[in-house]
């Protein structure tokens, strides 16, 4: 249960460790250093300090999304069979799930899959609560991590602010995206595993929106912007966005271990495919060349498999985490004149809503569940993360669309490499001012880049083939 007021929990990195003192389930305890998992309380020595993280099975293990149901363009459906509509979505691919354990008296979360260790809580002031006062500016986030290292917190001095790839490894698409106007989180589900990580929604009673649970990464947006944007993950609504680094304040987690995480090792196979040795994934060098809605994208991949495209019949629409793994955050249209992807790949150029040279949004197989249902799917923007900002926002271009009392400006609001969602079907013209708080540009007819698994990380999940049992993971 998420406390609607101040959330209390195991103390954060600036405080002394707490000891488990209750036999009640974790969901009922106001102080929760050690959760119930599978009916058994995990017990740790109060003086045990985290050791080195276990060496991961691959340097860049892609963590599963946690999505276990299949969906059409409205709601959950039985798992489709090969050849049927909607076959080949997220829950039908074998994935490596995180292998979390609590160490350092329950204050650190270790993921044996990725080799990363995390501070469990965003309680930066150490008062035992996560609340808006724990939020930091981007520069303050680095200072906080430096303090952890100076004090050798949990026995280590190599903590760092996570990259966007590291931070995104924590996201779970079993979460439910709230409406901005929601105030009661009791029916919601965060996009992070709350059995291990302490989480709270935005403090509505303190003037925040319920979705104000953004976390900083160390990854700046390289395109020049007036507010010096920095990428982060919102674990309340399940998105990557670039936030104003000059003035925004967000939550922070620190990470250590596996410095190779997030680094690709691309090999051009010379046959139209690209292998990433770091993740064990093979990609098509070229994209679909045309945009399509989400059901058509799934069907298009099935058709490529029937044809044995590039010598293979096990291509998939990638999951959100797979597709995000090939974003190159050192590239952006307004910095490098290119999409946010390594030049070994080919991206079809488009003309965006403002008449600019740009590059597409790309579909994933992952449904973005919300309180409205399952009508949206996740995409990654390899071009500008475009939106129609209202006139009250900082001007970054001339007004392009007006409606009564509002002047909207088209801008790269969330950055190339952002992760958002589009309606799975429909007419983009029905969204002339986009949707969401920043007027995210809606396209629906997004592009496709296919993936197949070359090497599975997990000893359990060994098949690279797509299957139809949603409960196999």
Residue 241 · residue 414 · CB < 8 Å: yes
Reduced 3-state DSSP string for the chain: CCCCCCEECCCCCCCCCCCCCCCCCHHHCCCCCCCEECCEECCCCCCCCCCCCCCCCCCCCCECCCCCCEECCCCEECCCCCCCCCCCCHHHCCCECCCEEEECCCCEEEECCCCEEEECCCCCCCCCEECHHHCECHHHHHHHHHHHHHCCHHHCCCCECCCHHHHHCCCCCCCCECCCCCCCHHHCCCCCCCCCCCCCCCCHHHCCCCCCCEEEEEEECCCCCCCCEEEEEECCCCEEEEEECCCCCEECCCEECCCCCCCCCEEECCCCEEEECCCCEEEECCCCCCCECHHHHHHHHHHHHHCCHHHCCCCECCCHHHHHCCECCCCCHHHHCCCCECCCCCCCCEECCCCCEECCEEEEEEECCECCECCEEEEEECCCCCEEECCCCCCCCCEEEEECCEEEEEECCCCCCCEEEEECCCCHHHCCCCECCCCECCCCCEECCCEEECCCCCCCCCCCCCCCCCCCC
pLDDT at 58: 86
| Per-residue pLDDT tens listing for the chain (473 residues) | 333 333 334 445 543 332 222 233 333 222 222 222 232 222 222 222 334 555 677 899 999 999 999 999 999 999 999 999 999 999 999 999 999 999 999 999 999 999 999 999 999 999 999 999 999 999 999 999 999 999 999 999 999 999 999 999 999 999 999 988 888 888 899 999 999 999 999 999 999 999 999 999 999 999 999 999 999 999 999 999 999 999 999 999 999 999 999 999 999 999 999 999 999 999 999 999 999 999 999 999 999 999 999 999 999 999 999 999 999 999 999 999 999 999 999 999 999 999 999 999 999 999 999 999 999 999 999 999 999 987 544 434 444 555 555 667 899 999 999 999 999 999 999 999 899 888 999 999 999 999 999 986 654 333 333 333 333 33
pLDDT at 405: 55
Give the global pTM: 0.85
Predicted confidence (pLDDT) per residue in 330-344, tens digit: 999 999 999 999 999
């Amino acid at each position: 249960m998420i406390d609607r007021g101040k959330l209390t929990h195991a103390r954060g990195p600036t405080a002394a460790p707490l000891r488990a003192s209750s036999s009640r389930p974790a969901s009922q305890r106001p102080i929760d250093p050690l959760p119930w998992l599978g009916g058994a309380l995990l017990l740790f020595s109060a003086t045990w300090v985290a050791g080195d993280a276990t060496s991961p099975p691959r340097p860049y293990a892609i963590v599963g999304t946690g999505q276990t149901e299949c969906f059409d363009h409205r709601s959950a459906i039985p798992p489709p069979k090969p050849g049927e509509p909607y076959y080949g979505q997220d829950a039908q691919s074998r994935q490596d799930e995180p292998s979390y354990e609590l160490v350092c008296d329950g204050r650190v979360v270790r993921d044996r899959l990725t080799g990363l260790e995390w501070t469990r809580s965003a309680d930066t002031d150490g008062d035992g609560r996560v609340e808006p006062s724990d939020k930091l500016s981007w520069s303050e986030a680095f200072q906080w991590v430096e303090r952890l290292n100076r004090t050798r917190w949990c026995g280590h001095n190599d903590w760092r602010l996570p990259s966007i790839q590291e931070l995104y490894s924590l996201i779970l698409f079993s979460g439910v995206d709230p409406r901005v106007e929601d105030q009661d989180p009791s029916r919601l589900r965060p996009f992070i595993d709350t059995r291990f990580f302490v989480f709270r929604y935005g403090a509505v009673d303190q003037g925040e929106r319920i979705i104000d649970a953004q976390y900083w990464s160390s990854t700046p947006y390289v395109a020049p912007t007036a507010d010096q944007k920095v990428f982060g993950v919102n674990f309340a609504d399940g998105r990557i966005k670039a936030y104003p680094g000059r003035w925004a304040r967000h939550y922070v987690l620190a990470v250590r271990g596996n410095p190779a995480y997030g680094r690709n090792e691309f090999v051009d196979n010379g046959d139209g495919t690209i292998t990433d040795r770091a993740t064990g994934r093979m990609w098509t060098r070229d994209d679909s060349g045309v945009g399509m809605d989400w059901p058509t994208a799934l069907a298009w991949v099935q058709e490529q498999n029937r044809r044995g495209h590039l010598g293979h019949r096990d291509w998939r629409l990638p999951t959100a985490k797979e597709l995000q793994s090939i974003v190159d955050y050192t590239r952006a249209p307004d910095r490098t004149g290119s999409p946010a992807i390594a030049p070994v790949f080919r991206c079809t150029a488009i003309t965006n809503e403002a008449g600019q040279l740009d590059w597409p949004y790309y579909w994933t197989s992952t449904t973005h569940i919300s309180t409205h249902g399952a009508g949206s799917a996740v995409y990654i923007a390899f071009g500008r993360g475009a939106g129609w900002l209202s006139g009250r926002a900082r001007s970054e271009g001339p007004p392009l669309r007006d409606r009564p009392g509002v002047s909207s400006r088209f801008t790269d609001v969330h950055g190339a490499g952002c992760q958002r969602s589009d309606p799975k079907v429909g007419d983009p013209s029905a969204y002339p001012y986009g949707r969401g708080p920043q007027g995210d540009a809606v396209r629906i007819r997004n592009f496709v880049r296919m993936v197949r698994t070359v090497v599975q990380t997990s000893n359990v999940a060994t098949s690279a083939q797509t299957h139809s049992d949603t409960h196999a993971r």
